[in-house]
Amino acid sequence: MEIRRDDPAAPYVAGLLAHHLTELRGHMAEFAFALDATGLSAPGVTFWTAWRDDGLVGFVALKQLDPRHGEVKSMRAAPEARGTGVGRALLNHVVAEARTRGYDRLSLETGTADLHAPAVALYRSAGFIDTGAFADYRPSLHNQFLTLRLRESRCQHSS
């Protein structure tokens, strides 16, 4: 699998990004905080795609909240690639990048619906723990917040 820095507005990303946004907004409505291509292209946000056999199999973004704190945004494996290690590879990549940048902490917001359970299990297996709302988020029954102390995490970069 190859993970590369990419353009979230690229035509080959559009279908998977639309699927991601439609699924989240359909389940979480106003509590879905996933970024569209414009948000994923904003200053302070870095976007990567994952490729296997010349096919797009996922994406992830890292948003800088402050010089020591980053946020995992919009991590998604393509439906046909779920359960094949794409999510783990993307998470390992973004954690390694956060360490390279010198972040002390990496946080994320995700949903509480059943569709989020596999991702939450992945985050927890990498050392993410429950935390309170951060940045501009507000707590609700539809959202949960996790954080990873980078100096203590078990997640390691792999290619």
Annotated domain spans of the chain: 2-149
- CA-based R_g, the chain, Å: 14
- Quote the tokens at residue 82: 């779920």
What are the tokens at 41?
């292209």
User: Per-residue pLDDT for 1 more than 80?
Assistant: yes
CA dist 75 and 111 (Å) reads 13
Query: What is the average pLDDT across 97-103?
Result: 97
The total number of residues written for the chain in this structure = 159
Global pTM value: 0.88
C-alpha to C-alpha distance for 89 and 94, rounded to whole angstroms: 9
Quote the percentage of the chain above a pLDDT of 90: 71
Bridge partners of residue 3, in order along the sequence: 50
Average pLDDT, integer, range 77-91: 95
Question: Quick one: pLDDT at residue 21?
Answer: 75
Which amino acid type is present at position 18?
A: A
Which has more pLDDT, 25 or 5?
A: 5
pLDDT surpasses 50 at 159: no
pLDDT reported for residue 158: 47
The topology (CATH level 3) of 2-149 is Aminopeptidase (3.40.630)
The pair phi, psi for residue 52, each rounded to 5°, is -140, 125
* pLDDT at site 116: 87
Q: Is the pLDDT assigned to residue 25 strictly greater than 70?
A: no
